[in-house]
Structure 1
Amino acid sequence: MSSLNPREGRTLLLALDAITDGGFTEVEATLDGDAESLVLFREGARVQAWLNICPHAGRRLDWAPGQFLRAKTGELVCAAHGASFSLVDGMCVAGPCRGESLRAVPVSVLDGQVVLD
């Protein structure tokens, strides 16, 4: 679960190094008072985050907790129905929810830590 970083006044999610470069991880965070599962994707020093919910059927994207599928063409793939999502903007580029997108969660990397904005 996330914790508050008193120096920054921001919610700390995890260390950047806990995510493999080019890989995904799942973390739990409190958003608007609700516990939510987030998908984090790391590319170098940049991290993107989305709610771990497919817009097609409202199911989690991971096939097992924290285990995500990636298409050979690079997209994040929903394990339930195969929808493929762009890692640039979370837009569904193939599958049953084409044209919809994942709900982005704003995060930053500060001093080697991924934090909620």
Structure 2
Amino acid sequence: MRLCHLDDLPEGDSRGFDPHASGRDTVLVVRHGPALHAWVNACPHHGTPMAWRKNAFLNAARDRIVCGAHGAQFEIPTGRCTLGPCLGQSLTPVPLHIHANGEVHLADSPHEETSQ
């Protein structure tokens, strides 16, 4: 299932996606260095959506994912909580497949994963 093209997500940026047309962004993707990292858009503390506004998943330094509901902070590459009420818990990873033409898709299976 297609999410976007690499060019649609600049370095150091984040974006939410609604791949199953549920009416809300259920997946968040962060471009961090050469890699894309994708997570279920739900804080492990209460399952609340992460963004405090549309596509706003990162702190001001753009080096941590932040839960807009209670300020928990998560490492971008690992999804592990480093600050807040869910300390030590992690976001749920979403495997991606990046095609040679730059198209970013949800991976059909974990072995298809090419960036995370």
Distance 1:28 1:53 in 2: 13
Call closer, same or farther: CA 1:90–1:20 in 2, change over 3 Å.
Answer: same
Question: Residue 47 of structure 2 aligns to which amino acid in structure 1?
Answer: G
| Partner-residue secondary structure (3-state), 1:80 | coil
Identity of aligned residues (%): 36
Q: 1:71 Cα shift?
A: 5.0
Distance 2:33 2:106 in 1: 18
Q: Give the aligned partner of residue 67 of structure 2.
A: 78
Q: Give the aligned partner of residue 112 of structure 1.
A: 102
Distance 2:64 2:74 in 1: 5
Unmatched segments (≥5 aa) in structure 2: 108-116
Q: Give the aligned partner of residue 95 of structure 1.
A: 84
Q: Is the 8 A contact 1:62 1:68 kept in 2?
A: yes
Distance 1:47 1:71 in 2: 19
Distance 1:73 1:27 in 2: 19
Question: Residue 100 of structure 1 aligns to which amino acid in structure 2?
Answer: Q
Give 1 or 2 for the bigger CA radius of gyration. 1
> Is structure 2 residue 45 aligned with structure 1 residue 56?
yes
Q: Is the 8 A contact 1:71 1:77 kept in 2?
A: no
With normalisation by structure 2, the TM-score equals 0.81
More strand by share: 1
Question: Residue 7 of structure 2 aligns to which amino acid in structure 1?
Answer: D
> Is structure 2 residue 13 aligned with structure 1 residue 23?
yes
Partner deviation per Cα, 1:82-117 (whole Å, 9 max, x = no partner): 100001110001100001100000002112111111
| Partner-residue secondary structure (3-state), 1:53 | coil
Report how many aligned residue pairs link the two structures.
104
Q: Which runs of 4+ in 1 moved over 6 A?
A: none
